[in-house]
Structure 1
Amino acid sequence: MSHNILELYSGIGGMHCAWKESGLQGEIAAAVDINTVANEVYKHNFPETNLMNRNIQKLSVKEIKKMNIDTILMSPPCQPFTRNGKYLDDNDPRTNSFLYLIGILEQLDNIDYILMENVKGFESSTVRNLFIDKLKECNFIYQEFLLCPSTVGVPNSRLRYYCTARRKDLTWPLKRRDDIITCLPKDFGVPETLESIIEDDVPDKFLVPDKKLKCANVLDICYRHSKRSCCFTKAYTHYIEGTGSVFTDKTPEMVQKCYEKANLSEVGSDAFVESLKELKLRFFTPKEVLMLMSFPKSYSLPTNISMKQCYRLLGNSVNVKVISELLKLLFE
C-alpha cells in the first residue's frame, strides 16, 4: 500500500529522510514550515516536494483533506517543554499551532497514521495530555517512546519523546504498553565508532578558539574510536558546556597528559590555554553532525547558509535512524 504524507514543522527534512530510509511505499505530498532558512535547505535537498512556507494555523481542514493524505509526520516546537523555555507548556505561544492541530484532528477522518517527535519532558506536559486524550477520542491506538540514537547503533546521545498512532480499526502487530517504551524490539548491538563519520583535512576554522579553551575543563572530548558523543544543540560552537562534543585525533593518554600539564597553571590562564592547544581540539563539522543524526550521505547543506545557521538548524532537527525504525513499526 502506498501512503501520502503531510510533513509538518518540516525543518530541514529529517522526517522526509526517515521515510525514504524506511523503504515504505509512499511520498511526501506536502511539507510545511515557517522557518525560511530551514525551507531553503529543505528545497535544496527535495526540490520536487510541495513545500509551503506557511503558519500551520492557517491550514484549514478543507485544505488538508484536499491533499488526499493518510499520514502526518511532525516535530512541533520543543522549547515550551525545556528548561531554557521555562517549562511554560501550554502557556507558551509556540504551542499554539500544535494545539490547533489537536483541535481539528477529529475532523481529519482521512488521517490513519501519526508520528510525532518532541523533547524529553513533553511526556509530563499538559499539551501531551491534551494530545493523548484527543487520540483516544478520535479512535486511535497509540504508543509512546523515549528513545536515544545509541539504542539503534548510532554513537550519539539525543534522548527524545516519540508518539506513534494509528486508527484502531487497523490491525497493529505491535504489543502496546501503557508505559513509555525505552528500547525497540530489534537488537541493534553496540553503537559503531565515530571513525566512519570523521572528515579528513578539516579546516582550522573548526578548531576550538583560545577564548573557549579557557573553559576546556567542561569540554566533552571524543576520539576516532569513541562509541558515543553528546547531543548537539542549536547553540553548538556558540556556547561550550552542554551543547555537544568536540573531537581530537590525539590519543586519550596524550589528552590526559596535556590536561595534567594545563592544570598546573591557573585554569583559564594563557599558560593553561597554550598547554591544551597542541591537542588541536575542534568542533564537529556540520557534515559530521548530519552523519551522527543519520542523514544520508547524499544530503547536503547549501553553501550560502552560514555556519551558525547550519548548527542552529541541526540542533532543531531529528535523528533519521530512530524515526525510520519507528515508521517501520507504525506501518507493520
Structure 2
Amino acid sequence: MMHRILELYSGIGGMHCAWNDSKLPGEIITAVDINTVANEVYTYNFPKTNLITRNIQALTLSELKGYNVNTILMSPPCQPFTRNGKFLDHNDPRTNSFLYLIGILSELDTVEYILMENVKGFENSTVRNFFIEKLEEIKFDYQEFLLCPSSVGIPNKRLRYYCIARRTDALWNFKRKGELITQLPQEFGKPYALDDILETVVPETFLVKDKFLRKGNVFDVCHKESSRTCCFTKAYTHYVDGTGSVFTEAGPEAIENCFKMANMHEYGSEEYVKCLQTLKLRYFTPKEVLALMAFPKNYAFPDNITMKQCYRLLGNSVNVKVISELLKILFD
C-alpha cells in the first residue's frame, strides 16, 4: 500500500527524513509550516514536495480532506510545555493550531495513522489529555512513549514524548501498554563513539569564546571516544548552561587535569580562562549536529542560512532515527 502523508509543523523536514529512512512505501503529499526560514531549508532538500507556508489554523477542513491522506506526521509547538514557556499549557496561544487540529480530527475520515512528537512534559499537560480523549472518541488505538536517541544507538540525549495512533479497524500486532514506554522492543546496541561523525577540518570560528570559558565548569565536554552528547537547543552557542555539549581533541585524562588546574584559580578569572584555552574547546558544527540527530549524510543547509539560524532550526527539529523506528512499529 502506498501511503499518502501530510507533514504538519514540518520545520526542516525531520519527519520527511524519518519516513525515507523507514523504507515504508508512500509519499509526503503536502508539508505545512509557518516558518519561512525553515521552509527554505526544507525546499532545498525536498524540492519536489508541495510545501505550504501557512498557519495550520488557516487550513480549512475541505482543504485538508482534499489532500486525501491516510497518515499525519506532526511536531506541534513545544514552548507551552517547557520551563522557558512558563508551562502555560492550553492557555498559551501557541497551542491554538494543535487544538484546532484536535477539534477537526473526527472529520478527517481518510486518516488512519498518526505520529506526534513533543517535549518531555507534554505527557502531563491538559492538551495531551484533549488529544488522547479525541483519539479514544474516534476509535484510534494509541501508544505513548518517552524516548531518548541513546536508546536507539545515537550518542545524544534528547528525551521526547511520542504518540503513535492507528484506527482500530486496521490490524495492529503491537501490544499496547497503558503506561508510557521508555524502551523500544528491539535491541540497538550501545551508542557509537563521536569520532564516527566528527568533521576533519573545523574553522577556528567554532572555538568557544573567552567570555564563555569563564563559565567553564558548566560545560559538558566531549572527546573522540565519548558516546554521548547533551541535547542541542536553539540557543546553542549563545548560552552556556544546558544548550548542548562542546568538543575537544584532548583525551579524558587531559581534560580532567586541565579542569583541576583551572579550578586552582578563582572561577572565571584570567588564569582560569588561560587554563581552559589549552583544551581548544569548540562547538559541534551544524553538520555534526545533523549527524547526531540522524539526518542523512546528503542533507544540507543552503549557503545563505546563517550559523545562528542553523542552530535554531536544529534545536526545534526532531531525531530522525527515533521517529523512523516508531513508524516501523506504527505500520507494523
TM-score by length of 1: 0.99
> Is 2:70 the partner of 1:38?
no
Q: What is residue 256 of structure 2 aligned with on the other side? A: 256
Aligned partner of residue 240 in structure 2, secondary structure: coil
Distance 1:111 1:256 in 2: 54
| Corresponding residue pairs, total | 332
Distance 2:303 2:325 in 1: 31
Q: What is residue 180 of structure 1 aligned with on the other side? A: 180
Q: Show CA shifts across 1:136-181 (max 9, x none).
A: 0011000000000000000000000000001000010100111011
Q: What is residue 283 of structure 1 aligned with on the other side? A: 283
> Quick check: 117-126 or 192-201, which moved more?
192-201
Q: Which amino acid aligns with 2:130?
A: L
> Is 2:180 the partner of 1:171?
no
Aligned partner of residue 115 in structure 1, secondary structure: strand
Q: Which amino acid aligns with 1:220?
A: D
Q: What is residue 124 of structure 1 aligned with on the other side? A: 124
Q: What is residue 153 of structure 1 aligned with on the other side? A: 153
Q: What is residue 230 of structure 2 aligned with on the other side? A: 230
1:324 deviates by 0.1
Distance 2:260 2:49 in 1: 54
Distance 1:177 1:122 in 2: 18
Distance 1:313 1:88 in 2: 23
- Please list every run of 5 or more consecutive structure 1 residues that lacks an aligned counterpart in the other structure: none
Q: Which amino acid aligns with 1:324?
A: S
Q: What is residue 72 of structure 2 aligned with on the other side? A: 72
Distance 1:250 1:24 in 2: 42
> Quick check: 186-195 or 288-297, which moved more?
186-195
Distance 1:187 1:60 in 2: 42
1:244 deviates by 0.4
Q: Show CA shifts across 1:257-280 (max 9, x none).
A: 211111121111111111111100
> Is 2:3 the partner of 1:8?
no
1:102 deviates by 0.2
Q: Which amino acid aligns with 2:285?
A: T
Give identity over the alignment, percent. 68
**Two-structure CA RMSD over aligned residues (Å):** 0.5
> Is 2:117 the partner of 1:134?
no
Distance 2:11 2:196 in 1: 26
Q: Show CA shifts across 1:38-67 (max 9, x none).
A: 000000000000000011001111111111
> Quick check: 26-35 or 262-271, which moved more?
262-271
Q: Which amino acid aligns with 1:132?
A: I
1:253 deviates by 1.0
Aligned partner of residue 42 in structure 1, secondary structure: helix
Q: Which amino acid aligns with 1:123?
A: E
1:201 deviates by 1.5
Q: Which amino acid aligns with 1:166?
A: R
Q: Show CA shifts across 1:102-151 (max 9, x none).
A: 00001001100000000000000000000000000011000000000000
1:200 deviates by 1.1
Distance 2:217 2:151 in 1: 28
1:32 deviates by 0.1
Q: Which amino acid aligns with 1:269?
A: S
> Is 2:28 the partner of 1:28?
yes
1:187 deviates by 0.6
Q: What is residue 107 of structure 1 aligned with on the other side? A: 107
1:13 deviates by 0.1
Aligned partner of residue 115 in structure 2, secondary structure: strand
